Amino acid sequence: AFRFAQVAADLAEASGVVVHEQWGDPEERRPPGEEVGDALIENLIAIKVIYLYLKKTMAAVKLSAYGDTEALRDLGESIRNDRLGRNFTQQHVASLAGISLPTYRKLEQGDGTVEIRHVARVLAILGYVERLRELVPAFTLPPDRKALAALQRQRARQRRTPPT
């Protein structure tokens, strides 16, 4: 029969769940000779550990997704506040950026479906295009990696010319 003990032990170690301190050692709770009961208890404990691990993992995923949504909302709100501070209408900024009014409204609402190029255009209109470069610093390859990259680019096959 498949026992979850090893899987649970690995997950418990990875997630920091201490099995014996939370639920007790099965051998201390069961009289000797009841191996079937011990195996059942171990499997139940293992299932609980797996559940707690998955619950913790899913909470982290939800937190990450919420953070992304919150960041987009904050960006949209900042763009809106900047626009209002300049006395620009939504239509004016949208037309300057070359996007539709509904797309601009989605941007201010923090809608994640707005294309990044549209966000970049609006930020450029508001004078923040240079600050975009600060978000992701320029990365230059070390000299030995540059040489390797150049060699990889040269490896492309050349077409054979048909014999004449």
Amino acid present at 119: V
Of the candidates 86, 85, 118, the residue with the CA atom closest to the CA atom of residue 102: 118
Domain positions in the chain: 1-82, 86-164
CA separation, residue 91 to residues 74, 80, 87, 151 (Å) = 21, 12, 12, 50
Choose the weakest-confidence range: 21-25, 83-87, 131-135: 21-25
pTM attached to this predicted model:
0.47
Could you read off the pLDDT of 100-115 as tens digits, one per residue?
Answer: 999 999 999 999 899 8
| Architecture field, domain 86-164 | Orthogonal Bundle (1.10)
Confidence band (pLDDT; 50, 70, 90) for 22?
very low
